[in-house]
Amino acid sequence: MLKELTTKFLVLIFLFGMITSSALALEVSAFKPEEDGEATITFCKTLEIQNVSLDKSSVVQTVVFEKDDGEFENIAILNKNFANHLISCFEGVCDKRTTCKTSLYSLMSAKKIEDKDLVVAKVSFDRDISAIFLVSTFQKKNKKFYRIKAPQDLKFLNNKYKKNFRNWLIKETKNLL
């Protein structure tokens, strides 16, 4: 009887994990192909990533985010299922959501740059995409201000979401500055 209850409990935990992992997934609300083969993808009407392309030259198709200033990879996909979903969008079979939950974010890492008031913060959006933000400070009239630089192709579409994200990121990295 104990073995049967343990098995049922483990199945219940597995099912709960499957349900919550799909509920937290970053959802595509718009996919706009461009003439040059790239696309602009909107997630939950809050985030937008421009200049996304599909590399078909290798054995496995790969979603490619344009490098900032031609050399820094500041946006990355964190899980294979999400990558496959984006690949299907490029192939014209995209499940778009008009209503979805606001994407959650979490700090993956934060590192202070030596000799500068600068922190490099890697943030995960719903464990599907990571983006690198630069957080810095400057003084003006004896008051400390914070500046956040996002990857060049990542745009916040919702001002409230952007403000909440900014406040959260400053709070998370403030002790390193």
Q: What is the pLDDT of residues 55-96, one digit of tens each?
A: 888 778 889 888 887 778 899 999 999 999 999 999 999 888
Phi, psi of 133 (to 5 degrees): -115, 145
AA letter at 150: A
Task: Report the predicted TM-score, pTM, of the whole model to 2 decimal places.
Answer: 0.80
pLDDT for 158 = 92
**pLDDT tens profile 7-16:** 444 444 443 3
pLDDT > 90 in the chain, percent: 59
CA atoms of 98 and 145, how far apart (whole Å): 37
CA atoms of 112 and 93, how far apart (whole Å): 42
Every domain of the chain and the residues it spans? 105-176
**pLDDT tens profile 154-171:** 999 999 999 999 999 999
What's the pLDDT band for 3 if we cut at 50, 70, 90? low
Eight-state DSSP code of residue 34: -
